[in-house]
Every structure is written in C-alpha cells, then in structure tokens.
Structure 1
C-alpha cells in the first residue's frame, strides 16, 4: 500500500510523494521488513497503519490538545517549558532552520516526557523530570488522556523498532536492550500551527527544514496538508514533495541517531511545514535511547571501503546540542509583554 504520488517538482506547489505503508497487524513479517527497508533507504519516511490505537481515542487526544491551545496566552505561559524541556513553547520559540528563516516557526507546542517524580534520583539526569500539567480545574482529565496516549505511542514505537532491527539483520529485540530503550527519551509534543501563510522565498515557514534528532518519530496529523520532505538535501535547488495525511495512521520517519547508527545507510531526511493560511494541529512523538547510551556505527554497516562516518556520541550530548541550536533561551522572553 502506498500513498498516491506523481514524482518530484521544485515549483512552489510540490507534488505528493508516494510512501510505503506498513501494517502492524500484517502476519507477513517479511513483507513488512521489505517495505520498511525500502522506505528507510529511499527517504526515511513511511506510513504505519493498524497500530492498535482507536480512532475514537486519537480524536479525543486532538480534542484535548486544541482545548489547551485555546487557553489565554498568559495561562499557557504559566507552564512555560523548563530546563528539562517540559511544558509550553510559544510561537517562534523554535527556529529549526536558522540559516534560511527570518523568524521563528509559526507554531506553539507542549512537551510531555516520561513522568519522573522529583524525588526520584533519575530526575537529576539530563532530560528526565516531572512533567508540567495544566490544573484539573482548568482542563479536567487532560493529564490522564495525554499519559495514556504517551504509553500507547511508546508501545507502537517499540513495535516499529522491532521491524527496523530485522531490516538490519539484528535480533528483533535489539533496540529493547536496557542500554537503549530500557529508559528511553520518549517525548510527546502537541503542536498548533497559526493560520499564517508560509513564504519560503522570504524565509517564512510554519516549521523550518530540519531532520529529527533521535531514533524515530511518529506523527499524527489532522487533515490539513503542509508537511514536505526533501529526499536529497544536497540537490540544488532542493526538491520538496508533499506528504499526505493518513487518517487513522502515523507518518513515521527516521531520526539522526538512527542514521548515525547505520552509517548513513538509513536516511534522516529533511522535512518542513509550509502552510496556505489554514490552522493545523499535529502530534509528533519522538523516541531516542536513554541519555547514557553511546551511539556508534553498527559493525554490519561499516567496512574497509565504507568506514564509520561519525565518532561515538552519547544520546544526551547529541540531543542537548540540537536543542540548544534550535530553541531560544528562557531569558529571551518578556513574559509580561506577551501577556499584554
């Protein structure tokens, strides 16, 4: 199963790319391995269907996400992201393509990670912390919905990574080892894109071009198009293709750490969001190994003719640098001015 596509076009209106679709309920595992491997080699993007999360629950998650973003700005800013990246990120907080953007992304977001109690020793580790939650008085039941979705999305991510392991001729449980996903960095991010028109020629984007940081990302979207991918980042000019939403399914993509692990065999592809003026809601879920995990080239992905391209690096060091490169510091905000 593929989404309709008609090739690449560098014009302002991009063509729709065709992506392989992997059904997690398909008993033919060899078919899934073949489709996923082809996708990872070609673009690093694919669809996932039949993942076991009901459409009714997905609709509830989007409904609750919209309820949060509908709050007054001063209420949202009370939950402004902390140093562990938990909480609210206002519009223009992130600039994912600083070389080409004249201003930050036209999107606001909300980070939710794995819940770690403040008294837990792990809370002192990079990226581990208690989450920030809206008051039950303001958004009753909101926390329960998001925690359940986080749990379900992590389950789906593990299932996808089992198939990815098999495409690399590894044991299916390779990524489930304690040093990798025993205590993963699994982050849910709710996103709301303002209803502003993007203009790439002027450096104005709903979300600037970037690759994701970790192992994989699962993306659920509404029915508003806007996601684009560039399969060859070195092409001049770059050719961008639209990725169509998939009702009831996920758009999944490979991240930088998995690209490093495979010595660039699997692709961590540039993607961006370009909008026509309509509001858009999406919910990405990012999965990376535990902070102490050392990511280095798999022996099977290197040879004398193709030596490792990247030095070993801990997940924490890589992720921390990417966040520093793309987010404004807390002191960049004049919160009182934003309330006014």
Structure 2
C-alpha cells in the first residue's frame, strides 16, 4: 500500500521543459538551450516548426477514422514482419517486469516508401507500407504520406541543432550513411482504458525509445509521463503536457550511445484515464548500415567509450524483437 500511495502521489507532478524556437536565426543560442535540455532529460518542445495546424489536424482526424473501423477491417492490414501496418491492443509489451498483459493501445506503422536508387529496399526497415483500402478511407494514404514528409523535414532541422550541441559541424548527421537514407517510422496511436500501475496496467509501459530522436504530436488529453532518474526508488513520474502549436521531442538510446551517455534517453510511459487519447510519434533513426559509435567530441582520457560500436539495423532488430509479441498469435483472428 505504501508503494501505491507513493506512486499515486507522484502522478500529480507536471514537468517544465525547455521550448526550442526553430525559427530562431541565432543557432548558437538555440544549440546552447538544446544542449542543456539534453543534459537534463532529453525531452523538450519545438515551436515554429513549419508543420501547419491544418495538416496536423487532418492527420489526427484520419487516424481516428482508421481506429474507428471494425476490428475485422483493421486486421486486413495487420503488422507484417517489417513492422508496417496495424498493431492490435497488447501487441507490444515495453515493460514486462511491471506489465500484466501488454500496452493498452493500438497503433499503425508507416515508413518511407520511396525506393528509387535505394540499395536497402529488401531490408526489414525499408519495406513497402501497408495501406487501408482507399474505398474505405479515401484520402487517408495521401494525408499520411504528406505528414510523414513534413515530420522528417522537422527532424532533420532538429538534427542540425543537435550536432551543434555536440560540438560537431551542423551538417554532421546529414551524411548519406546517417540521415541521408534514414529509417523514419511514423506511428499512429490510439490509447484506451484506465491505467493502474499498482496492478500492472498501462497505456504504454515504461521504456526509452530505441533510435535517434522522436517527434511527438499529441492531442490535449494528458497521459505522457517521464522519469528523469530511472535509478530512483520509488521512481518519480512527471506529466508532460501538450502545448498547442508545439511538438514534444525526445532523444533515443542510439543518440545516448553516440554521445557516450552525456545526452539522456529518458524513461517515459503513458497512463490512460478512460478518455480516448491519440498521438502520432515519428521515430527517426540513422541508415540501416550506420555504425553507431562514440563521437570523438564526447570522449577523452577521463571519458572513454561506454558502449561498444553497433550497426543501427542490428540494434533496432534486437529491440523490436524484445518488445513485440509473436505475430502468429493473430493468425486465427
């Protein structure tokens, strides 16, 4: 009972995060602010990003239309081995030590689908997308492709500031082997139900993101929480509110490895409160073949590399396999 009381008390905390203005022409000033946010917790907001409210609203509206379809219709585009398509409730379990069944969410994965001159077209992270029937959801695919393109543009802008914050050249991450041919996956998410941490029930279990960074679009329903110190017992969770016109951004584990642990990939989770909640996280990772190893600006005699070098596709494959259930369980649905 004591742990439950401490857990419940922690949920009223609201986090105060840095907001980065992407229209600021003083890149040094923005990089300094961003660096502090990345040292603190790796979560921050961005504003003046250039994604219109009309496009964002349309993407959310189309997302709602898909999730409102009968389960039989959604299962026609069931997630494949390349993690494209529909992911049912309980398909993912991100915190198996503390979760009973899995995440109380359903989602839909969409990746890059332009394979002209792409040598990786046959690899797991560059396969073709699955799309709902255009007769059932007219205009759905076009909206999602447009939003995907805009979100990737914003992430590449943020990557320039991240490079400066790491004392690198602004275009460091623009190299062909990094973001010149990225793994960029957009995920439509629908949360439902009421979470109860004391019973192992979560909208989304505690985890850190796998890749480089995540651009998160949310509705106004509260639910996202972060834990700045994962070693604390009990963990202290803070809500991250949505800000109209801004996106939430968080760093992933690959960027933490790149930075030698200097920049933080922070634990976060989602608690449901019974309200329908929708979000669109956009995950950006480096190229399939990118070797992620400690940046020269992040190591010294006193700070040797903390993590071994690893190929991006190897790391992501391991993490996806650990967090998703076996697709064969859905074959009879």
Q: TM-score range by the shorter chain?
A: over 0.9
- Structure 2: state its 5+ residue gaps: 1-5
Task: Look up the SS of the partner of 1:190 in the other structure.
Answer: strand
Quick one: structure 1 residues 10 and 72, their matched pair in 2 at CA, closer, same or farther if it must change by over 3 Å? closer
Give the TM-score normalised by the residue count of structure 2: 0.96
CA drift of 1:120 comes to 6.5
Q: Equivalents in 2 of 1:25, 1:9: separation in Å?
A: 39
Q: Is 1:193 aligned to residue 191 of structure 2?
A: yes
Distance in 2 (CA, whole Å) between partners of 1:160 and 1:225 is 25
**Secondary structure at 2:50's aligned position in 1?**
coil
Distance 1:158 1:116 in 2: 18
* Match runs of 1:1-340 below 5 Å: 11-116=9-114, 122-194=120-192, 196-336=193-333
Task: Describe the shift of the 1:159–1:106 C-alpha distance in structure 2 as closer, same or farther (beyond 3 A).
Answer: same
Alignment partner, residue 3 of structure 1: none
Q: Is the 8 A contact 2:181 2:287 kept in 1?
A: yes
Runs of 4+ in 1 over 6 A off after TM superposition: none
Q: State how far apart, in whole Å, the 1-side matches of 2:163 and 2:297 are.
A: 12
Matched-pair contact (CA < 8 Å) for 1:9–1:15 = no
Q: Which 5+ residue runs of structure 1 have no aligned equivalent?
A: 1-7
Q: Is the 8 A contact 2:223 2:239 kept in 1?
A: yes
Offset, 1:158 = 0.2
C-alpha separation in 2, matches of 1:274 and 1:140 = 32
Q: Secondary structure at the match of 1:11?
A: helix
How big is each residue's C-alpha offset from its partner over 1:23-57, in whole Å with a ceiling of 9 and x where there is no partner?
Answer: 11112222211211110000100000000011111
Which whole-Å CA distance do the structure 2 matches of 1:316 and 1:211 have between them? 17
Could you tell me the TM-score, scaled by structure 1's length? 0.94
- Deviation for aligned residue 1:283: 0.2
What corresponds to 2:3 in structure 1? none
Q: CA deviation at 1:186?
A: 0.3
1:43/1:269 contact within 8 Å kept: yes
Return the alpha-carbon distance in structure 2 between the equivalents of residues 91 and 265 of structure 1: 35
Q: How many residues align?
A: 328
Which whole-Å CA distance do the structure 2 matches of 1:22 and 1:261 have between them? Answer: 22
Cα contact 2:81–2:124 (8 A) shared by 1: no
Contact residue 230 and residue 240 of structure 1 kept, 8 A:
yes
**Aligned Cα root-mean-square deviation (Å):** 1.6
> Distance in 2 between the 1:71 and 1:244 partners?
29
